Structure 1
Amino acid sequence: MRAAMFTRILITAGALLAAFPALAWGANGHRITGAIAEQNLSGLAKANVQLLIGSETLAEAATWPDDMKSDPAPFWQKTASPWHYVTVAHGDAYKASMAPPEGDAITALGAFTATLQDPAASIEDKRTALRFVVHIIGDLHQPLHVGRGNDRGGNDTPVAFFNRPTNLHSLWDSGLIEQKQLSFSEYASFLSRAITPEDVIAWSDPRPDTWMTESVKLREQIYPQDPKLSWSYAYQHRSALDGRLKQAGIRIASYLNWLFSPGAPDKSPHSSSTIAE
């Protein structure tokens, strides 16, 4: 009886929380990935980034697309909303044709990449594109932003973390990160010290297919059997969570290093995606 009541409470709370838009990694998660990326930019990429956003850091730029969700303009409320996730059903492959009419994270990443490569694009358009590129790459490393397509990326999967009702998506966006009680700069420094030269070499892959494949694999390991979560769940998945934040930072840098390298338009990392679980 008590178990059934607990489940009903979780479902109700999860439904209420799911009514709010998901913010991949949350503000601190995105700042962490941006801070790690900034430390790994090539000199050429760093110069191009500074030309576009000046003294704004990648940690600041990384949160901008989520910050703009508060803008009531239809562009932010409807058009740009699906650009933070992709859908890859269990056992299926990513298909751009399955994206909403407005596109998804992959189609948006391709469009913003083209803007940054377009000599005729305005500085303002390129500035917007850069911020979205940094943000979207972070999104694609959050395993629940490569969703199954049946629970809105874990938003419809209620859980309780240390008896606090939430949902699985929110837990991975921010709950597990905030549990460490570190500022984003402290967390980024903590993770950066653990990134070895071998890691940088292994993770410097600018191909979105690689990132999504990894997220799909991890996604299938993080759905709990018991919705009541605490220390054991956090301990079990801490390494994977920190790993995705570290990889996202290195991949943002890798992508921008590719993007701003001579001849980048001729060697695009975007290919026909054939991601399957």
Structure 2
Amino acid sequence: GAVANFTSQLMHYKQGSADRKYNLTEALLFLSHFMGDIHQPMHVGFTSDMGGNSVNLRWFKHKSNLHHVWDREIILTVLAERYGKDMAAFRKDLQHNITKGSWSDESSWKDCADLMSCPTKYATESIGLACKWGYDGVHDGDTLSGKPPPAGLPA
């Protein structure tokens, strides 16, 4: 619902009242937030463990939970190991992937039959990644050694 709702608001703003037009910034902010959420595998994880929030573990020596590891710790580890914490290098690599690399097929970005098909597709991809990379072999109380997903895994 949320992605479809805010996408619809942005697509149909000219048909709305002045109040609706005033909220375009809010709709865009929420849409960008929820698009990030739907691409984070634990955000579409299992309700039985609250998307990994109830899977307590350690990331290196730090107490954490599986959801937090995927929200923050893997990203920081990848930034440190692959980019030496150099945000300019990360930004350059990200821009390359979008313009010339693995995410450059712009037509695939628009491959949506309706407002629900793409969010459903993204969520399906994310839960597959959660099962393959997030939950597989991880148990409550584990210490994760910091092996991030392979470099080719989409962000």
What is the TM-score when the length of structure 2 is the normalising length? 0.73
Alpha-carbon distance in 1 for matches of 2:39, 2:6? 18
Shift in CA distance, 225/108, structure 1 to aligned 2, threshold 3 Å: closer
RMSD between aligned residues: 2.4
Aligned to 2:115: none
Alpha-carbon distance in 1 for matches of 2:43, 2:61? 25
1:199 to 2:99 alignment: no
208, 216, 231: which is aligned to 2:127?
Answer: 216
Report how many aligned residue pairs link the two structures: 134
Aligned to 1:118: 13
Alpha-carbon shift at residue 111 of structure 1 (Å)? 1.8
Alpha-carbon shift at residue 219 of structure 1 (Å)? 0.7
For residue 219 of structure 1, give the secondary structure of its aligned residue in structure 2: helix
For residue 49 of structure 2, give the secondary structure of its aligned residue in structure 1: coil
For residue 135 of structure 1, give the secondary structure of its aligned residue in structure 2: helix
Alpha-carbon distance in 2 for matches of 1:161, 1:220? 19
Shift in CA distance, 114/140, structure 1 to aligned 2, threshold 3 Å: same
Asked if the contact 2:97/2:103 (under 8 Å) is kept, the reply is no
Alpha-carbon shift at residue 194 of structure 1 (Å)? 3.9
Asked if the contact 2:3/2:119 (under 8 Å) is kept, the reply is no
| AA of the residue aligned to 1:146 | V
Alpha-carbon distance in 1 for matches of 2:152, 2:50? 21
1:239 to 2:151 alignment: yes
For residue 200 of structure 1, give the secondary structure of its aligned residue in structure 2: coil
Asked if the contact 2:57/2:66 (under 8 Å) is kept, the reply is yes
Unaligned runs of 5+ in 2: 113-117
Moved over 6 A (4+): none
Alpha-carbon shift at residue 200 of structure 1 (Å)? 2.0
Alpha-carbon distance in 2 for matches of 1:198, 1:170? 27
Q: After superposition, what is the alpha-carbon deviation per residue over 1:181-220, rounded to whole angstroms, capped at 9, x for unaligned?
A: 3365542322332453563217424511221111011111
Aligned to 1:225: 138
| AA of the residue aligned to 2:91 | A
Alpha-carbon shift at residue 109 of structure 1 (Å)? 1.7
Percent identity between matched residues is: 29
Q: After superposition, what is the alpha-carbon deviation per residue over 1:82-122, rounded to whole angstroms, capped at 9, x for unaligned?
A: xxxxxxxxxxxxxxxxxxxxxxxxx1222212222132243
Asked if the contact 2:53/2:65 (under 8 Å) is kept, the reply is yes
Shift in CA distance, 167/198, structure 1 to aligned 2, threshold 3 Å: closer
